[in-house]
Amino acid sequence: MQVANPYRLDGKCVLVTGAAGGIGRACAKALVAQGARVVLADRTPIPGAELATLGDSASSLICDVSDRASIAKLREECPRVDALVLAAGILPFDDWLDPAWDESFDRVMAVNVRGSLNVVREYFQDMCDRGSGSIVFVGSASGRMGGMQAGPHYTASKGAVHSLVRWFAQRAAPKGVCVNGVAPGSIATEMLEGQVFDTARVPMRRMGTAEEVAWPIAFLCSAAASYMSGAVVDINGGLIFS
Residues with a catalytic annotation lie at 154
Bridge partners of 235? 184
Q: What residue type is assigned to position 67 of the chain? A: D
Nearest one of 219, 235, 215 to 227, comparing CA atoms: 219
Rounded distance between C-alpha atoms, residue 164 and residue 180, angstroms: 9
Rounded distance between C-alpha atoms, residue 242 and residue 224, angstroms: 29
User: What is the rounded (10 degree) CA torsion for 204, 205, 207, 210?
Assistant: -30
Helix, strand, or coil (residue 23): helix
